[in-house]
Amino acid sequence: MMNLQRFHAPTARQALAKAKMAFGDKTVILSNRTTPNGVEVMAASSDEVDTLAQDNANEAQDLDAVNTATKQSFSSALSSAVKESVEADAQQLSMSTLSFQDFVRDRMLKRRKGLMTIPADMEDSGSASDRASVGTDSKRKAKVGIPVRESAAPTAAHTANAHTPATHTAPAQIHVGYSDLSAQASAGTTTPKGISDELQSMKALIEERFSTLTWLGETRKSPVRNNLMTQLIGAGYSPHLSRAVLDKLPQDQDAQAAKKWVAQVLERNLKTDGNTLSMMQQGGVFALMGATGVGKTTTCAKLAGWCAREFGPASVGLITLDTYRVGAHEQLRAYGKMMGVVAHLAYDQAALQDLLGLLVNKKMVLIDTTGLAPRDPRTRDLLNTLNLPKLQRVLVLNACSQGEMLDEVVQAFRTTGTQQAILTKTDEASKLGPALDAAIRHQLMLRGVTTGQRVPEDWEQAQPHKLVKQSMHAPKTAYTTTDLDLGFFFSHGSTGTAPSSELGALHA
Partner 1 sequence: MPEAVLHQASSLTQWSGALTPQVVLLASHGDMKSEAALQDQLVKAWRHLGYASVCVDATRVVPPLQQSRLQLLEQLTQDHEPHDVMLVYVPISWLVEDLADFAAAPLLAVGTNSTSVLTAYQALKQLTLKGQHHPTLVPVLDTLDASALHTAEKLSHSISECAQQFLGQRPHMVPPIGLLDGHDISSTPSEGMLSLALRLMEPAPHTAPFWSH
Q: What character string, x for contact with partner 1 (CB under 8 A) and - otherwise, covers 343-362?
A: xxx-x---x------xx-xx
Residue 19's contacts (CB-CB under 8 Å, 6 or more residues apart) are: 5, 7, 27, 29, 41, 43
What backbone phi and psi angles, to 5 degrees, belong to 374? -55, -35
Number of residues that make up the chain: 508
Residue 243's contacts (CB-CB under 8 Å, 6 or more residues apart) are: 215, 229, 490, 495
Nearest distance in Å: CB 398, partner 1: 17
Nearest distance in Å: CB 307, partner 1: 11
Residue 103's contacts (CB-CB under 8 Å, 6 or more residues apart) are: 88, 92, 95
Q: Answer yes or no whether residue 331 interacts with partner 1 by CB under 8 A.
A: yes
* Three-state DSSP class for residue 446: strand
Contacts with partner 1: how many residues (CB under 8 A)?
34
Interface with partner 1 (CB under 8 A), residue from 170, 245, 258, 339:
339
The window from 62-70, 96-104, 331-339, 462-470 that contacts partner 1 (CB under 8 A) reads 331-339
Q: Answer yes or no whether residue 335 interacts with partner 1 by CB under 8 A.
A: yes
Say if strands 38-45 and 284-290 run parallel, antiparallel, or are unpaired.
unpaired
Give whichever of 63 and 308 is closer to partner 1, judged by the CB atom: 308
What is the per-residue DSSP string for 102-135?
Answer: HHHHHHHHHHHHHHHTTGGGGGGGS-HHHHHTTT
Given a contact cutoff of 8 angstroms between Cβ atoms, the answer to whether 444 and 419 are in contact is yes
Interface with partner 1 (CB under 8 A), residue from 327, 487, 496, 499:
327
What is the per-residue DSSP string for 187-228?
Answer: HHHHHHHHHHHHHHHHHHHHHHHHHHHHHHHHHHH-HHHHHH
Give whichever of 217 and 312 is closer to partner 1, judged by the CB atom: 312
Interface with partner 1 (CB under 8 A), residue from 197, 198, 330, 427:
330
Nearest distance in Å: CB 362, partner 1: 8
Nearest distance in Å: CB 301, partner 1: 6
The window from 166-174, 189-197, 303-311, 436-444 that contacts partner 1 (CB under 8 A) reads 303-311
Nearest distance in Å: CB 450, partner 1: 12
Nearest distance in Å: CB 431, partner 1: 25
Residue 481 is classified by DSSP as -
Nearest distance in Å: CB 345, partner 1: 7
Q: Answer yes or no whether residue 309 interacts with partner 1 by CB under 8 A.
A: yes
Q: Taking CB under 8 A as the criterion, which residues in 282-301 touch partner 1?
A: 298, 301
Give the whole-angstrom CA distance, residue 287 versus residue 416: 15
Give the whole-angstrom CA distance, residue 419 versus residue 395: 7
Give whichever of 81 and 304 is closer to partner 1, judged by the CB atom: 304
Residue 367 is classified by DSSP as E
Angle among Cα 206, 212, 215 to the nearest 5 degrees reads 135
Please write down the HEC assignment for all residues of 93-111. CCCCHHHHHHHHHHHHHHH
Interface with partner 1 (CB under 8 A), residue from 108, 153, 157, 342:
342
Give whichever of 43 and 346 is closer to partner 1, judged by the CB atom: 346
Given a contact cutoff of 8 angstroms between Cβ atoms, the answer to whether 29 and 19 are in contact is yes
Q: Taking CB under 8 A as the criterion, which residues in 420-459 touch partner 1?
A: 453-457
Nearest distance in Å: CB 382, partner 1: 21
Give whichever of 140 and 362 is closer to partner 1, judged by the CB atom: 362
Interface with partner 1 (CB under 8 A), residue from 149, 313, 451, 465:
313
Q: What character string, x for contact with partner 1 (CB under 8 A) and - otherwise, covers 27-66?
A: ----------------------------------------
Give whichever of 73 and 315 is closer to partner 1, judged by the CB atom: 315
Give the whole-angstrom CA distance, residue 413 versus residue 478: 34
Q: What character string, x for contact with partner 1 (CB under 8 A) and - otherwise, covers 456-475?
A: xx------------------
Given a contact cutoff of 8 angstroms between Cβ atoms, the answer to whether 304 and 316 are in contact is yes
Alpha helices, DSSP H only, in 24-96?
A: 46-91
Give the whole-angstrom CA distance, residue 260 versus residue 245: 12
What backbone phi and psi angles, to 5 degrees, belong to 274? -55, -35
Nearest distance in Å: CB 507, partner 1: 39
The window from 168-176, 193-201, 328-336, 374-382 that contacts partner 1 (CB under 8 A) reads 328-336
Strand order in the sheet with 38-45: 5-9, 38-45, 27-35
Given the rule CB under 8 A, which residues bind partner 1?
298, 301, 305, 308-309, 312-314, 317, 327, 330-331, 333-335, 337-340, 342-345, 347, 351, 358-359, 361-362, 453-457
